[in-house]
Amino acid sequence: MASCLRLKKSNCKNCYKCIRHCPVKSIRFSAGQAHIIDDECILCGQCFVVCPQDAKQIVDDTEKVRVLIGSGDPVVVSLAPSFIANYEGVGIESMREALKRLGFHDVEETAIGATMVKREYDRMLREENRDIVISSCCHSINLLIRKYFPEQLPYLADVVSPMVAHCADIKRRIPGAKTVFVGPCVAKKDEAAEHSDVVDVALTFEELTRWLEEEKVELRREVIPDDQSLARFFPTPGGILKTMEQDAPDYTYMALDGIDACLAALDDIAEGKIHKCFIEMSTCAGSCIGGPVMEKYRRSPVSDYMAVSTFAGSRDFDVAQPDMSLMKQYQTPIGRTERTPSNYELVEILREMGKFKPSDELNCGSCGYNTCREKAVAIYQGKAEISMCLPFLMEKAEGFSDAIVKNSPNALIVVNDTLEVQQLNDAALRLLNIRFASDVLGDQVVRILDPKVFMDVKRSGRGVYNKRTYLAEYQRYVDETIVPAEDGRMIICIMHDVTAEEEARQRKEEISHQTVEVADKVVERQMLIVQEIASLLGETTAETKIALSKLKESIVNE
């Protein structure tokens, strides 16, 4: 399969939106990046459409077309009939005029090939004894069946798509012609690679629009009616059926658009619930006018349908039907190598994800997978990582946070903006002599602490840090920090018990005070003695007094 989609690794933000929208989960996550698994991808383009970071890129083949034009060979465009919805008010004549300015030899409508295809469908149903026939126009449907429902391949119409039928017709009519298909589909690039002898290059509308802008070619708004253009209905829901005769006896004709409806039908076929039926299938909701490259982000289902409906005629294009053998294509299964975990291995992976019992399996889909078990299988196959489970990460983070709070030696108290107690840890329960947290949760903080400082913090929005406070009711000294959190919706109080430290400091002060008193008494006695001595030694009195005063001062400073 051609690699038509690429990833800009630096842009992937691990939102898992692509895997949530991928119908076959063909995306692998590794090292924080998404990787498209080519062997499993059906090129529906949904990952390209939904990626909010534009991390998915469609391979640009514009330069290949420039080379073809430069070769001198006549290069003819097969223009998908959905162009009328993409380029509002621009008919085929205006498109031909503009694209010739880019160097193309001519521009024709792929709807010509669609006319050939629908005629072959009608013939097949009338002349061949078939039970179920699934249209083969949508290459993503073809890939889906070939990769995921190979047992349904006999029901897939062995008819080429309108793109291939038309490009082959162009090459038969114009000697040496090169063909370029332009449409709204990513998968057509892969189909073109499979039929490289008929389709030289496939471009998207986005690629063509960029090219026109680069060359400053403006599209002239003009639509000229043509009643012989019924097959222009092909890109709309049920558009193939609108063009068919629908005259095969005993057949039911139905149209399904959107991958979910198509998957459900394929499951019903597998279970034998459907018989004698022609099914028009398209992976895109809204069929081709809802294609992933209808100028990404500009989906207007109703107005787009109206544009096609107004443009389409009521009769077939006047084209010769090729020989039946030229309309045939035989598609083979595309094998996928997927390992399946044993029940033991699956249970072990679920345990690593924190899923120990069925009630733990939330099946929330945040990782992109529909169920936890589907995610576990993807982990086993190397397509997913355990860290993609949001509830698991939240529980792990909360558990880590709770462990820190629970085992912190500091008392932690959380109150809301109405000063109601929301949370206490074990250290707070011990400090405040509370038996159970439930005894005070939801109550006003005034029940356990002086609310004034909380009110001050709430009013000012500024925290109080390491304020030493005596909790008289609890006979405790604490260093108190009170700060606002969550934009003032919560207030957190952290209290470090410094009672022992404070009592030690007070004891030290008391001892120092007692020492000063003793020193005073000693000085007083010494002064009496000095005075007596001074009477004998007169001149030494002053020196003794100075020395003793210095001794006292030294003791006080200590």
Sheet holding 132-134, edge to edge: 132-134, 277-282, 252-257
Looking at residues 6-21, what average pLDDT do you find? Answer: 78
Q: What is the pLDDT of residues 124-140, one digit of tens each?
A: 999 998 999 999 999 99
Task: Give the start-end residues of each E strand in 245-366.
Answer: 252-257, 277-282
DSSP 3-state helix, strand, coil percentages of the chain (rounded to 5)?
45, 15, 35
167 contacts 199 by C-beta, under 8 angstroms: yes
Beta strands at 33-36 and 27-30: parallel, antiparallel or unpaired: antiparallel
pTM, rounded to two decimals: 0.72
Looking at residues 44-70, what average pLDDT do you find? Answer: 89
Compute the radius of gyration of the chain from its Cα atoms: 41
Question: pLDDT value at position 20?
Answer: 87
Sheet holding 411-416, edge to edge: 421-424, 411-416, 490-497, 476-485, 464-471
Question: pLDDT value at position 53?
Answer: 81
Which of 168-172, 217-221, 405-409 is predicted with the least confidence, judged by mean pLDDT? 405-409
Which of 249-258, 332-341, 358-367 is predicted with the least confidence, judged by mean pLDDT? 358-367
Which of 99-113, 130-144, 437-451, 521-535 is predicted with the least confidence, judged by mean pLDDT? 521-535
Beta strands at 132-134 and 178-183: parallel, antiparallel or unpaired: unpaired
CA-CA-CA-CA torsion for 94, 100, 104, 108, nearest 10 degrees? 30
Question: pLDDT value at position 380?
Answer: 86
Partnered with residue 411 across adjacent β-strands are 495
Q: Is the dihedral of CA 462, 466, 467, 473 positive or negative?
A: positive
Length of the chain: 558
- What are the chain's domains? 60-327 (no CATH), 338-407 (1.10.15), 409-497 (3.30.450.20), 512-557 (no CATH)
Report d(CA 423, CA 429) in Å as an integer: 10
Residue 330: count other Cβ atoms within 10 Å of its Cβ.
Answer: 7
Which of 224-228, 381-385, 414-418, 475-479 is predicted with the least confidence, judged by mean pLDDT? 381-385
316, pLDDT greater than 80: yes
Report d(CA 399, CA 421) in Å as an integer: 21
498 contacts 477 by C-beta, under 8 angstroms: yes
pLDDT band at 56 (very low <50, low <70, confident <90, very high): confident
Name which of 338, 352, 422, 425 is nearest 387 in CA terms.
352
Question: pLDDT value at position 544?
Answer: 62
Question: pLDDT value at position 272?
Answer: 94
Question: pLDDT value at position 547?
Answer: 63
Residue 466: count other Cβ atoms within 10 Å of its Cβ.
Answer: 11
Query: DSSP 3-state assignment of 99?
Result: helix
Report d(CA 144, CA 40) in Å as an integer: 9
Looking at residues 365-381, what average pLDDT do you find? Answer: 84
Q: What is the pLDDT of residues 276-308, one digit of tens each?
A: 999 999 999 999 999 888 874 556 889 999 999
